[in-house]
């Protein structure tokens, strides 16, 4: 397995080639070692993951390569696993061991063995120093002791004899020291200064350093604007940047979570000790800040920590002074606070919280802030494809990540993501409610269905059916009736507990489970259910007591053992969880879910071999353990054994000939880019009875990647629709497949049919977008758009409402769009895109105060948001506009919107303005605003053909982007004033010109013609004519 986070295993060549940042610190250390400045004793002070070991390895490589340093120093690298060192004598004994081991010197190894036999500390210290002194004399070199975690070794391992060690190391004729420390100062815990040492802090990486490291790791040189969010997200931690770079190269949510879990496991002791050292109230406030993730005000933290604002402010001030918290200026006079070590946030959220949103928050922040739109769409598709390798119940992390990505994106990006997403994934996203830990077998294993009362049986079945139909009120009423008929029967209360749990009504689920225990206090199953409800209600101690009571009654009660193991792990007691899982394994009671969880803990503890053995044993009988199968395939692939993973999945599929196993194989092969083999596996999945539209979607993707003709894909879609004729999401998937194949008529029919089926409301959004791509004025497009508005209002989600608001803007319905945007902001007040869209509408209406308010609110959320910066620049005075555009250019100099905004500055020379506008259009040919800007400028410099050409290219876009009509009219009037009225009329006397018929009529009226038109059009034309001659008055 690759040593992902251990630079100590690098060769010298790798240490040099991989050393990208910290060049200033390297130069300072080498200067000290050359004897040019301070005494040769340096302590690198930095948090975990800041690059201390990497820098030490780079120094050692330089010593071995530089002749001057090589003749002066003999390095001794102790590493960070010197746990056997508890006295000064043992410290130098360890130095002797590594010196002899590195040199391969038999005489030194013999001297080490001799020293090991010395039991007296004083004699041991003296003898080791003598040997080391002799080595230094013989080689003519001083000994450079490189020791990691120096603070821990001094304070925790050696303790009272630390002064003896420091005195010995102070001999400059014999020793130099290069040490690392994760404390704020090298001797923070003792309160005494470490005299004679140069404390060299490794600060978080600067923006330039982040840019350089990212470019090296990803082989992509990206604008600084895309690196700044990465710097904020990672806190400038090289290790976190490495992890995110790995994700960018091969996007896998599973791999990313495993990497983060491994990193968190390595640092759990450090983070826990940092929290434990804080006073109780200060710890409470800090924990609330870690949980918040985003920069927060003292008031927000006070509410979360349940303390008053003054207390929160004082505690945050202390933490800021200590360096644990960063304080920055927020809106107005308020200050914002966030953790100095981003890894601390990730630790707290991943280890202290169980909800998927906590586990994938860092990933979503990275993706939405770093990727451009095309990359985000493509990477989200890869995550969805990876998710579809798992059963719907196992996709919680993927569901939350997908939803969070959509919520933060512009409407056009959302549309592209949704268009490529399989219906099966979207359906499982909607249905992701009841936690996976809740196994129906828990009920079935411990209880009879009823006490024999037929009426109760009927009510229970009807309640189950009502719940399946999402009629929860009826389900609760039926269960209440069943309980009234048979008060001694626990089953109505058991079903009621699980019903409340599915609805996240935890207090009610606990009360129902209490009734179950009251009825059968000696049944271990009742206590297991009670413990389960308590655990989801975050009543941890009570839940553990309930599970233990179940095990007192029956030590082999499998549900109690497994749920208690899960609870132990949630409480950071991995050893306790492993004990229970091993106990369940011995009883032969490991479920598929429990097996996978057992293996994941082992993998977090770097026990991959044992984890692999556990998973392979679970799969020995070829039983349908899909989660264990997926995890084993992931483990094999992650350790460079993808062919083994493919062989495993193929063996399982061929043995059982089960459609899900073939689908697993096909999904894995697709992820590996083996589309021909993937196609064969997915074909087999369908042939053996595939029961999910997602399989057809995956097969269609493979076929497209193989370049197969559309006719073959169409036959596949027909087969899917024949099988899932009444499934709305299957029809939506069909529409998406047709759209991807540019078959718009077929896509329209599929979407329309989906709207007639149950749960088909989301199809209205897709249908509206599809129809408006043809013509925004079409009555069917307008009807679909109104239906889409109704659907998203009913959903109450910010993202879909914002998406439809943009469609309304394109349709020319700014008022309706504003209403929908207000609803979107009510659902998510921090929606940057909704605020920008509101600002654009206000600016078009010449409401500069309103536009400024919206753009500034958007910038308060994202101070380098190009759309907000350029939007605000358009309505600002020249000096302010220059500053805003400068910020936008600095953030993303390659963004065509920045170039267009700079071109619109009126105090620049005509040629430069045209060059910027033309370059913007070159980078984004669909930027119609650039064409409308360039047309009058080209006319001004005498290029009439170019001017009319730009206007002619913009004209067809007006049908689907009606918000551009006022700008088109203004531009046309400028050209008319420049004497180009006839050329404009020739352009507008076309079918496409009907969109702006009043403009065409106005030009004819201006030339003295009297065209016959409707009264309404003539009135608008007269208004345009007034605008044409307004400057003459």
pLDDT tens per residue across span 996-1007:
889 989 899 988
- Would you say residue 441 has pLDDT above 60? no
Cα 195 to Cα 198: distance, rounded to the nearest angstrom = 9
**209-347 is classed in which CATH architecture?**
Orthogonal Bundle (1.10)
Cα 372 to Cα 376: distance, rounded to the nearest angstrom = 6
- Would you say residue 418 has pLDDT above 80? no
- Would you say residue 412 has pLDDT above 50? yes
Helices 608-618 and 626-638, axial angle in degrees (round to 10): 150
Nearest to 241 by CA among 258, 253, 225, 259: 259
Contact (Cβ atoms closer than 8 angstroms) between residue 844 and residue 963: yes
- Would you say residue 188 has pLDDT above 50? no
DSSP per-residue string spanning 350-389: HHH--SHHHHHHHHHHHHHHHS-HHHHHHHHHHHHHHHTT
Q: Can you tell me whether residue 448 is helix, strand or coil?
A: coil
Predicted pLDDT of residue 189: 41
| Least confident piece of the model among 349-353, 389-393, 906-910 | 349-353
Cα 565 to Cα 579: distance, rounded to the nearest angstrom = 8
DSSP H or E segment with residue 250: none
- Would you say residue 789 has pLDDT above 80? no
Q: CB-based burial of residue 913 (10 Å sphere; 0-12 exposed, 13-18 middle, 19+ buried)? A: buried
Cα 540 to Cα 258: distance, rounded to the nearest angstrom = 26
| Least confident piece of the model among 574-578, 837-841, 866-870 | 574-578
Q: CB-based burial of residue 944 (10 Å sphere; 0-12 exposed, 13-18 middle, 19+ buried)? A: middle
388: Cβ contacts below 8 Å, ≥ 6 apart: 422, 424, 425, 667, 694, 698
Predicted pLDDT of residue 934: 93
Cα 928 to Cα 949: distance, rounded to the nearest angstrom = 12
The whole model's pTM is what?
0.41
Q: What is the dihedral of CA 747, 749, 755, 761, to 10 degrees?
A: 20
- Would you say residue 81 has pLDDT above 80? no
26: Cβ contacts below 8 Å, ≥ 6 apart: 19, 55, 58, 59, 62
Predicted pLDDT of residue 265: 62
Nearest to 851 by CA among 860, 861, 840, 862: 840
Predicted pLDDT of residue 500: 81
- Would you say residue 151 has pLDDT above 90? no
Cα 997 to Cα 1015: distance, rounded to the nearest angstrom = 13
Cross-strand bridge partners of residue 181: 45
Predicted pLDDT of residue 371: 63
Contact (Cβ atoms closer than 8 angstroms) between residue 649 and residue 618: no
Residue tagged 């999402």 (tokens) = 470
Cα 379 to Cα 386: distance, rounded to the nearest angstrom = 11
Position with higher pLDDT, 360 vs 356: 360
Across all residues in the chain, what is the average pLDDT?
80
The three-state DSSP-derived secondary structure of 602-642 is HHHCCCHHHHHHHHHHHCCCCCCCHHHHHHHHHHHHHCCCH
Predicted pLDDT of residue 714: 92
Predicted pLDDT of residue 612: 86
977: Cβ contacts below 8 Å, ≥ 6 apart: 1028, 1031
Predicted pLDDT of residue 143: 93
Q: Where are the domains of the chain?
A: 7-203, 209-347, 947-1033
Long-range CB pairs of 355-363 (<8 Å, 24+ gap) are: 355/400, 356/396, 356/397, 356/399, 356/400, 356/401, 357/400, 357/404, 359/257, 359/397, 360/253, 360/257, 360/397, 360/400, 360/401, 360/404, 361/293, 361/404, 362/233, 362/260, 363/247, 363/253, 363/256, 363/401
Q: Encode pLDDT of 479-537 as tens digits.
A: 888 888 877 788 888 888 888 877 777 888 899 889 888 888 888 888 888 988 888 88
443 band by pLDDT with thresholds 50, 70 and 90: very low
Q: CB-based burial of residue 1007 (10 Å sphere; 0-12 exposed, 13-18 middle, 19+ buried)? A: exposed
Cα 661 to Cα 645: distance, rounded to the nearest angstrom = 13
Average pLDDT over residues 140-154: 88
792: Cβ contacts below 8 Å, ≥ 6 apart: 765, 800, 801, 803, 804, 820
- Would you say residue 1013 has pLDDT above 60? yes
| Least confident piece of the model among 403-412, 430-439, 751-760 | 430-439
Instruction: Classify 79 in phi/psi space as left (phi over 0), alpha (psi -120 to 50) or beta.
Output: left
Average pLDDT over residues 878-902: 86
Q: Encode pLDDT of 658-705 as tens digits.
A: 788 888 888 888 878 889 999 999 999 988 888 788 888 889 988 988
Average pLDDT over residues 341-350: 65
Predicted pLDDT of residue 357: 47
Cα 128 to Cα 134: distance, rounded to the nearest angstrom = 10
- Would you say residue 759 has pLDDT above 90? no
Cα 179 to Cα 144: distance, rounded to the nearest angstrom = 10
- Would you say residue 255 has pLDDT above 80? no
For 200-237, b where at least 16 C-beta lie within 10 A, e where not — what string? bebebbeeebbbbbbebbeeeebbbbbbbbbbbbbbbb
Cα 838 to Cα 841: distance, rounded to the nearest angstrom = 5
Average pLDDT over residues 208-218: 86
- Would you say residue 938 has pLDDT above 80? yes
For residue 261, CA distances in Å to 232, 576, 630, 634, 993 come to: 21, 18, 18, 15, 60
Average pLDDT over residues 968-975: 91
Position with higher pLDDT, 325 vs 89: 89
Cα 808 to Cα 855: distance, rounded to the nearest angstrom = 20
DSSP per-residue string spanning 274-324: HHHTS-HHHHHHHHHHHHH-S-B-HHHHHHHHTS-HHHHHHHHHHHHHHTS
Structure tokens at 125: 């210290």
736 band by pLDDT with thresholds 50, 70 and 90: confident
Q: Encode pLDDT of 263-286 as tens digits.
A: 666 556 656 666 777 787 888 888
Q: Can you tell me whether residue 1014 is helix, strand or coil?
A: coil
Instruction: Classify 900 in phi/psi space as left (phi over 0), alpha (psi -120 to 50) or beta.
Output: alpha
Structure tokens at 749: 């029919």
852 band by pLDDT with thresholds 50, 70 and 90: very high
Position with higher pLDDT, 388 vs 209: 209
Cα 144 to Cα 135: distance, rounded to the nearest angstrom = 12
Instruction: Classify 445 in phi/psi space as left (phi over 0), alpha (psi -120 to 50) or beta.
Output: alpha
The fold adopted by the segment(s) 7-203 is Rossmann fold (3.40.50)
178 band by pLDDT with thresholds 50, 70 and 90: very high
Cα 314 to Cα 53: distance, rounded to the nearest angstrom = 35
Nearest to 460 by CA among 477, 442, 438, 482: 482
572 band by pLDDT with thresholds 50, 70 and 90: confident
- Would you say residue 356 has pLDDT above 50? no
Position with higher pLDDT, 327 vs 884: 884
> To the nearest whole percent, how much of the chain has pLDDT over 90?
11
Cross-strand bridge partners of residue 73: 142
- Would you say residue 89 has pLDDT above 60? yes
Q: Encode pLDDT of 869-886 as tens digits.
A: 999 998 888 888 888 988
- Would you say residue 725 has pLDDT above 50? yes
Cα 11 to Cα 710: distance, rounded to the nearest angstrom = 52
């Amino acid at each position: 397995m690759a040593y992902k986070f251990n630079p100590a295993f690098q060769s010298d060549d790798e240490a040099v080639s991989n050393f990208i940042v910290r060049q200033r610190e390297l130069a300072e250390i080498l200067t000290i070692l050359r004897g040019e400045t301070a005494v040769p004793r340096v302590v690198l002070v930095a948090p975990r993951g800041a690059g201390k070991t990497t820098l030490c390895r780079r120094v050692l490589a330089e010593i071995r390569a530089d002749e001057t340093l090589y003749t002066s120093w003999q390095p001794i690298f102790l590493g960070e696993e010197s746990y056997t060192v508890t006295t000064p004598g043992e410290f130098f004994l360890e130095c002797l061991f590594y010196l002899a081991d590195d040199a391969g010197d038999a005489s030194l190894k013999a001297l080490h063995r001799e020293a090991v036999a010395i039991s007296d500390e004083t004699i041991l210290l003296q003898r080791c120093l003598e040997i080391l002194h002799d080595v230094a004399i013989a080689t003519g070199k001083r000994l450079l002791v490189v020791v990691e975690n120096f603070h821990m070794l001094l304070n925790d391992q050696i303790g009272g004899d630390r002064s003896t060690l420091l005195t010995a190391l102070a001999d400059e004729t014999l020793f130099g020291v290069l040490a690392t420390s994760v404390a704020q100062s090298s001797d923070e815990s003792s309160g005494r200064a470490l005299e004679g040492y140069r404390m060299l802090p490794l600060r978080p990486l600067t923006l330039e350093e982040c840019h350089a490291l990212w470019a090296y790791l990803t082989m992509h040189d990206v604008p600084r604007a895309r690196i700044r969010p990465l710097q904020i997200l990672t806190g400038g931690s090289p290790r976190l940047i490495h992890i995110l770079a790995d994700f960018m190269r091969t996007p896998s949510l599973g791999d990313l979570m495993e990497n983060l879990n491994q990193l968190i496991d390595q640092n759990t002791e450090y983070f826990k000790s940092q929290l434990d050292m804080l006073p109780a109230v200060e710890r409470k406030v800090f924990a609330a800040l870690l949980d918040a993730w985003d920069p927060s005000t003292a008031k927000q933290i006070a509410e979360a920590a349940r303390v008053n604002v003054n207390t929160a402010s004082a505690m945050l001030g202390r933490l800021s002074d200590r360096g644990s918290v960063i304080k920055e200026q927020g809106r107005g006079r308020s200050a914002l606070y966030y953790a100095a070590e981003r890894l601390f946030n990730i630790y707290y959220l991943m280890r202290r919280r169980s909800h998927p949103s906590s586990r994938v928050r860092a990933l979503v922040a990275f993706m939405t802030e770093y990727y451009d739109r095309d990359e985000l769409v493509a990477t989200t598709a890869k995550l969805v494809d990876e998710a579809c390798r798992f059963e719907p119940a196992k996709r919680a992390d993927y569901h939350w990540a997908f939803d969070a990505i959509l919520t933060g994106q512009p409407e056009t990006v959302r549309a592209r993501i949704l268009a490529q997403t399989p219906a099966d994934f979207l359906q499982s996203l909607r249905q992701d409610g009841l936690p996976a830990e809740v196994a129906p077998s828990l009920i079935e294993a411990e209880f009879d269905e009823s006490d024999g009362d037929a009426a109760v049986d009927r009510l229970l079945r009807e309640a189950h059916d009502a719940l399946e139909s999402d009629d929860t009120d009826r389900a609760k009423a039926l269960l209440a009736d069943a309980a009234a008929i048979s008060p001694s029967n626990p089953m109505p209360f058991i079903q009621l507990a699980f019903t409340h749990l599915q609805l996240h009504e935890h207090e009610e689920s606990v009360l129902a489970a209490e009734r179950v225990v009251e009825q059968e206090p000696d049944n271990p199953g009742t206590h297991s259910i009670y413990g389960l409800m308590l655990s989801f209600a975050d009543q941890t101690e009570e839940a553990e007591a309930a599970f233990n009571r179940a095990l007192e009654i029956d030590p082999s009660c499998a549900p109690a053992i497994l749920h208690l193991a899960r609870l132990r792990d949630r409480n950071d007691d991995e050893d306790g969880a492993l004990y229970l899982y091993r106990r369940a394994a011995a009883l032969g009671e490991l479920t598929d879910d429990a097996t996978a969880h057992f293996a994941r803990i082992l993998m977090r503890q770097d026990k991959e071999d044992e984890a692999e053995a556990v998973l392979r044993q679970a799969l020995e009988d070829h039983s349908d353990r899909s989660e264990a199968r997926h995890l084993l395939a992931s483990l094999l692939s992650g350790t460079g054994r993808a062919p083994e993973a493919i062989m495993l999945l193929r063996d399982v599929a061929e043995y059982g000939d089960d459609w899900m196993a073939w689908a697993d194989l096909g999904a894995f092969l697709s992820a590996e880019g083996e589309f021909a083999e993937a196609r064969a596996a997915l074909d087999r999945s369908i042939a053996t009875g595939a029961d999910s539209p997602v399989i057809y979607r995956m097969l269609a993707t493979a076929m497209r990647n193989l370049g197969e003709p559309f006719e073959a894909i169409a036959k596949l879609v027909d087969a899917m629709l024949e099988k899932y004729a009444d499934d709305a999401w299957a029809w939506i998937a069909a529409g998406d497949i047709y759209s991807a194949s540019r078959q718009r008529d077929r896509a329209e029919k599929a979407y329309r049919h989906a709207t007639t089926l149950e749960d088909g409301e989301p199809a209205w959004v897709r249908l509206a977008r599809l129809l408006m791509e043809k013509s925004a004025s079409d009555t069917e497009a307008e009807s679909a758009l109104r239906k889409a508005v109704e659907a998203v209002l009913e959903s109450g989600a910010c993202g879909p409402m914002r998406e439809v608001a943009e469609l309304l803007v394109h349709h020319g319905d700014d008022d309706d769009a504003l209403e929908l945007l207000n609803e979107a902001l009510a659902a998510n007040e921090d929606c940057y895109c909704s605020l920008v869209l509101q600002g654009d509408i206000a600016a078009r209406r010449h409401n500069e105060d309103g536009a400024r308010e919206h753009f500034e609110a958007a910038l308060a959320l994202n101070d380098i948001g190009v759309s907000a910066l350029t939007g605000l620049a358009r309505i600002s005075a020249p000096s302010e506009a220059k500053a805003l555009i400068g910020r936008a250019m600095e953030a993303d100099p390659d963004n065509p919107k920045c170039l267009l905004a700079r071109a619109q500055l009126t105090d620049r020379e005509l040629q430069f303005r045209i060059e910027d506008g033309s370059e913007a259009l070159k980078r984004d040919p669909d930027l119609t605003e650039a064409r409308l800007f360039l047309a009058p400028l080209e006319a001004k410099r005498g290029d009439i053909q170019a001017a009319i050409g730009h206007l002619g290219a913009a004209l067809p876009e007006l049908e689907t982007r009606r918000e551009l009509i006022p700008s088109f009219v203004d531009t046309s009037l400028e050209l008319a004033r420049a004497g180009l009225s006839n050329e404009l009329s020739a352009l507008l006397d076309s079918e496409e010109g009907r969109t702006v018929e009043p403009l065409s009529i106005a030009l004819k009226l201006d030339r003295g013609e009297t065209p016959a038109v409707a009264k309404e059009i003539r009135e608008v034309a007269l208004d345009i004519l007034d605008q044409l001659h307004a400057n003459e008055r």
